[in-house]
Chains A and B, each alone.
Chain A
Amino acid sequence: MAELIAKSPLEGQAPLTRAGLTLSMVAPRSIWSLALYPGADPGPALGLPGLRFPAPGESVTEGDVSLIWTGREQAFLLGMAPPAGLSAQVAVTDQSGAWAGLRLAGRGEEGAEAALSRLVPLDLRLRAFPLGRVARTALNHINAIVWRRDEAGFTLFVPRSMAFSAWHEIAVVLDRLAARESGRGRG
């Protein structure tokens, strides 16, 4: 018999605050991919209580549970395991450990956008990327899911094996933003 202890990516990594922004890890720990077969009804027949299948770029949240769009006819279910009554028209895959969650927040949306614009080619202006919007994009060569989860900032998911690289990239960006700002008054 054996006893195994789980360890999340970036386990023990303390949050980093610089340039008015805080980078921290998030652990939703439960991520399930739901992929619809052709002809599947994305409405209530899907069997997801209180949630509907998100449209491209959309996220749907009910309490602690969210469904975020991640591809053609595909969404990630966060915060709960797929319910028993889930339609047979959905392919379900456990993605729980596969993604490392990061959060970049602080100083209103502009602050986090300034940092992310160094790494992500997306138009992150509030009106192009409103509250609740999800996008699959690149974080400097790293496949990333970017989610404006709330007013305070962004939640990012990157492949677990690249968690350190993603953290490092963002930390470096924050260092440089802070360096730009210091001594700014002296023009």
Chain B
Amino acid sequence: MRIEGKGIIDRTREVKFRFDGRDYSGFRGDTLASALLANGVRLMGRSFKYHRPRGVLSAGSEEPNALVEVLGKTIRTPNTRATMQEIFEGLDTRSQNRIGSLRHDLLAVNDLFSRFLSAGFYYKTFMWPRHFWEGLYEPLIRRAAGLGSLAQVHDEGVYEKAWAHCDLLVIGAGPAGLMAALVAARSGADVILAEEQPILGGRLIGDGGVIGAEPAALWLAGVEAELRAHPNVRIMTRTTVTGAYDNGTYGALERVGLHRSPRPSLPRECFWRIVAGRTVLASGAHERHIAFPMNDRPGIMLASAVRTYLNRFGVAPGKRVTLFAANDQARQTARDLMAAGVQVAAIIDPRQDVSVVEDCPVHSGAEVIDTKGRHALRAITVRKGAEVFDIETDCLAVSGGWNPALHLTCHMNSRPRWSDELAAFVPVADAVPGLEAVGAANGDFSTHAALLGGKAAAGAALLALGHKVAPVALPAAEDAPYTHRAIWAVAGEGRAWLDLANDVTLKDVQQSARENFASVEHMKRYTTQGMAPDQGKNSNVAALAVLADATGRGIAETGTTTFRPPYVPVSIAAMGAGGRGKGFAPERFMTSDQASRDRLAPMIEAGLWYRPAYFPKPGETTWREACDREVLMVRNAVGVCDVSTLGKIDVQGPDAGRFLDLVYANTISTLAPGKVRYGLMLREDGLVMDDGTAARLGQDHYLLTTTTAAAGQVMRHLDFVHQAFCADWKVRVISVTEGFAQFAVAGPKARALIDTMLDAPLGDLPFMGVVQTAIGGVQARLFRISFSGEEGYEIAVPVDYGEALFRDLLARAETMGGGPYGVEALNVLRIEKGFLTHAELDGRASADDLGLGAMVSTKKDCIGRAASRRPGLHGPAREQLVGLKAMAEISAGAHLFRPADAVERVNDQGHVTSVCWSPVLDLWLGLGFLQNGRARYGEKIRLVDHLRGIDVECEVTHPVFFDPDGGRMRG
């Protein structure tokens, strides 16, 4: 119920929201949990295994019970903690993990079978009959398992990623964090203050108190105002630091739009990568539950959470509250409630000699041993010595002590240290280089200790960064000692929960120990304690204590599992932000792109580039029709193809020739200026990396081409060879792929076409030559090279002229019975000629396999020469490049067998790399690798592709099918 005059929510702004189909209203600043509690709704979920009714336990991100689905038009977000979901107008939410309604969950029957569902039950049950598993048990368990459900549609939400850099990262804006930020801000350092909640203050919001001479709320407002005024401070609220990584890098998840009505382009979340010079961890501490029997009912909450609901949200979670705690600090919850006019029925304190002077009954030396109330707490049973009695209550505030939130300190392979004094784990110093934990996160629980720790850590960090440290006065604050007694569990009849989120009880951990899963790592996996969305924040330490007890060890000896990022669940969409759809990779467009699309050419992806597959003419209904026509067009008239995507590398310097002789298998330095040579590049392991051409443009100037897909790899390789082996040579290498648009003009009429374009007559450009020329005054390079096997040229112009040149070439070609051709025809033409692409150069072929063994010069060293001499890369056992001819369709990827052999792997003779229908030869052609292939021309071979159902007899031939002498190319 709502309490007047309490809370810092904005009561002037009413917000309507929906839960399980019913409309409610709350106020701006409410979370779903606080608004539901204010409306008297206490049943918020069903537990994982037993489907027991559950209510909210906490007020923070560690919430294990109140997990709901947030519904949107296209997005459904399961497992959302009601304590972190701020309400906004129109928020629509639904409870999860139930069949039927939340109140009447059909799966609640599981609770009756709890005896059979204890730890590891799936290893011991559902075994018989065996065949029932697949048909019955598994689907049933699958249906019942899990918490929230997925929407089964793509998440079309907007997610962002971003980087941030700072001198000091302060994690947590409670008193310790605020103090650290203040020191750094006044010192002029760049500060990022990351706070998980939408508002600053941390414990000050729930606890109140006095700092300096003023109420904590005023002190907080003053500090916040000052921090916001400093231009060197970035305050990031709703931002959880999720992981500590190497070299001062932190991952952080910012909730950008989850608390607002959806709008276009508004990100839901942003995943930050923050690079910090130094970091102060002021993440506070988590209060512990106590494992007493039946401790999981709606209405049983952490004491500090009850206080937060009262002081921050103005909500009393019950009308008659009891407190069960073994520490002094928790009593403030009872006092705050009573001061607000809420009835406190009793304080139950397990400790014997403690003060019993409060404004309500205090039972010392007492424990809660049972609770009643199925859908909401009704009463508790208390044992005090020999006495056992019931107390009527609808809200039980529990405190089993405090655990420093030290998870980040363990993200780099460190484990925390057990403190007997605090009965808690505390961080180990320097576990994360550059990070210091302060305040409650470091086990220093008083407000004074937090302020002091924050100030000192910021000062030390600034000094380490070489910064001067501005003076900041330390305000006075409470410094009460942490008086407590560790209480993990209470013996009793019913089940006592440790891990509420995964429904793991005291008995499960004890059973685990009994079955000899005694190490904490085994206990965790066997019982699933600590493996739920709350990652054990509410149960790790208690479970460890129970395990220690059950195995007769101390807690320190039992150890702890480690913590790994992320500290809270992070949606995959946020981590992968920017990588979806077009963001996955850049798109690369040629200058002819628009003209190709204008002609309705389907564009295919070749690496990052878009290339036209073919240029359909009216009346053509299949790609083959267009492709066949284009092939014949090139062979009989002239074709134009944009080949700008091939890598082009400019190599200059007096040592250029020497350098190229090192990276190419064949000799390049003997090339005369104006000539072009086919080049083969090997990897150092002797296999072929790439093939291409090298053109000598001048005495000390070469231009290389590489295969489109290998351009980056070759560049990387050249840079390595240069820098690693010949950094002192006078040679410089730079990519010019982007700077030139280059078009192939091929066919019997190619020369005639080109002659109409050039400013000066073409003259006699020999095959494999290059010449500098001009088109309309624009400098151009003209190469006479051919990938089609026809008389072919390639014209390169500065890329800005590419589109104009392409359109002009097409117009002229069309007057000559020619036109554009795409990559399908390009591929057919080159297969007919036995020219290679990376279909053949797949990293497994040696020069000798390809029939190019003679290209590896014996007169010089080169990259790969030594390893290429290995006998294993030569000889009849190798699969060698061959051609294949067939009358029926064949496929790339098929394997080759002798016709008489069974089609089994042991009889595999080779495989097919490229195929095409040749309209020139009226045959199916293929290129492939066949064992000892060069000695088997004329042989019949069987080509089998199981995936496509192809089984065809082929003839093995020389790989050059058309014009083997190359007369058409050489003219």
Contacts and interface: CB of A to CB of B under 8 A. Distances in A.
Contacts of B727: 38
A169 B588 CA distance: 14
A164 B275 contact: no
B265 A4 contact: no
B803 A7 contact: yes
A10 B759 CA distance: 29
A182 B587 contact: no
Given A128-B165, A141-B585, A175-B265, A99 B800 contact: no
A38 B730 contact: yes
A160 B734 contact: no
Nearest to B237: A187
Interface string B257-271: 100100111110000
B107 interface: no
A93 to B, nearest CB: 5
B738 A161 contact: yes
B578 interface: yes
A159 interface: yes
B800 A8 contact: yes
A83 interface: no
Interface string A77-106: 000000000000001111111110000000
B161 interface: yes
Contact of B804 (A7, A96, A98, A160): A7
Contacts of B732: 35-37, 74, 91
A4 B775 contact: yes
A152 interface: no
Nearest to B13: A186
A35 B738 contact: no
A96 B798 CA distance: 8
B586 A141 contact: yes
A14 interface: no
Interface stretch (A48-56, A58-66, A119-127): A119-127
A147 B804 CA distance: 31
Interface residues of A, number: 55
Contacts of B653: 37, 91
B135 to A, nearest CB: 47
Contacts of A94: 736, 739, 798
Given A5-B801, A169-B583, A176-B266, A35 B734 contact: yes
B2 to A, nearest CB: 21
Nearest to A71: B734
A107 interface: no
B798 A162 contact: no
Given A38-B729, A93-B652, A93-B734, A176 B583 contact: no
A7 B264 CA distance: 34
B227 to A, nearest CB: 17
B799 interface: yes
Contact of B265 (A8, A160, A162, A179): A179
A118 B776 contact: no
Contacts of B479: none
A160 B650 contact: no
A175 B263 CA distance: 11
B609 A161 contact: yes
B586 A142 contact: yes
Nearest to A124: B165
Interface string A149-165: 00000000001111011
A162 B610 CA distance: 11
A95 B265 contact: no
B162 interface: yes
A169 B164 CA distance: 18
Which of B273, B739, B758, B803 has the most A CB atoms < 10 Å from its CB?
B739
A38 B728 contact: yes
Q: Which of B582, B729, B759, B800 has the most CB of A within 10 A?
A: B800
A6 B804 contact: yes
Contacts of B758: 1
Contact of B160 (A6, A118, A168): A118
B162 A117 contact: yes
Contact of A164 (B260, B589, B738): B589
B799 A97 contact: yes
A93 B756 CA distance: 29
Contacts of B797: 4
A13 to B, nearest CB: 14
B808 interface: yes
Contacts of A97: 738-740, 798-800
Contact of A162 (B273, B588, B591): B588
A169 B581 CA distance: 12
Contacts of A162: 586-588, 608
Contacts of B590: 161
Contacts of A175: 264-265
Contact of A2 (B164, B586, B738, B776): B776
Which residue, of B729, B732, B737, B778, has the highest number of chain A Cβ atoms within 10 A?
Answer: B732
Given A121-B273, A160-B738, A179-B267, A1 B160 contact: no
A83 to B, nearest CB: 18
A187 B608 CA distance: 42
A159 B738 contact: yes
B165 A91 contact: no
Given A5-B801, A37-B732, A164-B589, A176 B776 contact: no
A177 to B, nearest CB: 9
Interface in B237-258: 256-257
B260 A3 contact: no
Query: Which among B260, B583, B738 has the highest number of chain A CB atoms within 10 Å?
Result: B738
Contacts of B662: none
Contact of A120 (B163, B260, B587, B734): B163
A166 interface: yes
A187 to B, nearest CB: 8
A45 interface: no
Interface string B571-582: 000000010001
B734 A165 contact: no
Given A4-B801, A162-B608, 10 more contacts: A4-B775, A35-B652, A35-B732, A38-B729, A91-B732, A98-B739, A118-B578, A120-B163, A141-B585, A176-B267
Interface of A: 1-8, 29, 33, 35-38, 74, 91-99, 117-125, 128, 140-142, 159-162, 164-166, 168-169, 172, 175-176, 178-180, 182-183, 187
30 contacts: A2-B775, A2-B776, A2-B805, A2-B808, A3-B776, A6-B798, A7-B803, A8-B800, A37-B731, A74-B734, A95-B736, A96-B739, A96-B798, A97-B739, A98-B736, A118-B163, A121-B273, A125-B165, A141-B586, A161-B588, A161-B738, A165-B582, A165-B588, A168-B582, A169-B583, A172-B583, A175-B265, A176-B267, A179-B257, A182-B263
